[in-house]
């Protein structure tokens, strides 16, 4: 009897269609996997430089497989552009929040200047930018286009506050569309991010220089 039952069970099992085995599950959701890759890439690039940051080293740092990398990127250059985009979008979010919270256009301009200067004077941000703006990184495919996009993101809140200032008389000489790129260049230089200009000795002096230039150029009579 036991032999007969075992025989029937085996026959029934053979008659049933085989259930397909589920593929090997991913260890992380796509968003978390991408974040791990970007965080690991930044660590390796800060340690080795962009040129010497191998994909294998990035994957080892992230604890991920080669397949994980190619699910998101076709090359290390693409990964670099994704890092640039994350940095610029994070900066824009900070700028938008500070500009929106400022009580008047003059305070908003000062807040914008302060955020840009932090790229050169805040240690963590300066370290990230040293990697992302290195000569080797600048040669990456797609880098120039990503930098143009980043610049546009950073200038958007600046143009908005200049438009407000022109409308309410705070900045009577403002021409937002043409003034914003000039102000951005002055702020970058004061932050030490223009290789042809010497960085001011202190952050306070850098802020004073940029504010003084901007307020005079825009025709602002400081009320503070």
Is residue 40 a contact partner of residue 56, using CB atoms and an 8 Å limit? no
Beta carbons within 10 angstroms of residue 73's beta carbon: 19
Answer yes or no: CATH 1.10.10 is held by domain 28-73.
Answer: yes
CA angle 90-104-217, nearest 5°? Answer: 90
Least confident of 21-35, 69-83, 130-144: 21-35
What was the pLDDT predicted at 27?
67
Average pLDDT over residues 161-184: 96
How many residues are there in the chain? Answer: 224
Is residue 219 a contact partner of residue 174, using CB atoms and an 8 Å limit? yes
Answer yes or no: CATH 1.10.357.10 is held by domain 77-217.
Answer: yes
Q: Kindly tell me if the per-residue pLDDT of 171 is higher than 90.
A: yes
Pairwise CA distance, residues 6 & 8, whole Å: 5
Q: Kindly tell me if the per-residue pLDDT of 21 is higher than 80.
A: no
Average pLDDT over residues 90-110: 95
Domain ranges of the chain: 28-73, 77-217
CA angle 189-109-187, nearest 5°? Answer: 5
Pairwise CA distance, residues 87 & 85, whole Å: 5
What was the pLDDT predicted at 26?
53
Query: What is the band of 111 on the pLDDT scale with cuts at 50, 70, 90?
Result: very high
Query: What is the band of 31 on the pLDDT scale with cuts at 50, 70, 90?
Result: confident
Q: Kindly tell me if the per-residue pLDDT of 214 is higher than 80.
A: yes
Is residue 110 a contact partner of residue 184, using CB atoms and an 8 Å limit? no
Average pLDDT over residues 2-30: 47
Query: What is the band of 159 on the pLDDT scale with cuts at 50, 70, 90?
Result: very high
Least confident of 164-178, 185-199, 204-218: 185-199
Handedness of CA 78, 83, 88, 93 (dihedral sign): positive
């Amino acid at each position: 009897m036991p032999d007969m039952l075992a025989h029937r069970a085996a026959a029934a099992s053979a008659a049933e269609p085989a259930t397909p085995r589920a593929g090997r599950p991913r260890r992380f959701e796509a968003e978390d996997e991408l974040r791990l890759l970007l965080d690991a890439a930044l660590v390796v690039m800060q340690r080795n430089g962009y040129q010497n940051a191998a994909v294998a080293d990035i994957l080892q740092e992230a604890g991920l497989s080669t397949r994980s990398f190619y699910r998101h990127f076709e090359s290390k250059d693409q990964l670099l552009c994704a890092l640039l985009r994350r940095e610029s979008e994070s900066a824009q979010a900070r700028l938008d929040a500070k500009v929106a919270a400022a009580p008047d256009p003059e305070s908003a301009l000062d807040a914008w200047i302060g955020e840009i200067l932090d790229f050169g004077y805040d240690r963590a941000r300066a370290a990230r930018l040293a990697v992302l703006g290195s000569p080797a990184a600048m040669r990456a495919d797609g880098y120039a286009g990503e930098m143009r996009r980043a610049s546009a993101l950073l200038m958007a809140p600046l143009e908005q506050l200049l438009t407000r200032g022109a409308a309410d008389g705070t900045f009577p000489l403002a021409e937002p569309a043409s003034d914003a790129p000039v102000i951005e260049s002055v702020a970058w230089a004061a932050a030490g991010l223009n290789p042809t200009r010497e960085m001011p000795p202190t952050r306070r002096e850098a802020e004073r220089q940029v504010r003084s230039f901007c307020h005079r150029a825009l025709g602002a009579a400081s009320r503070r």
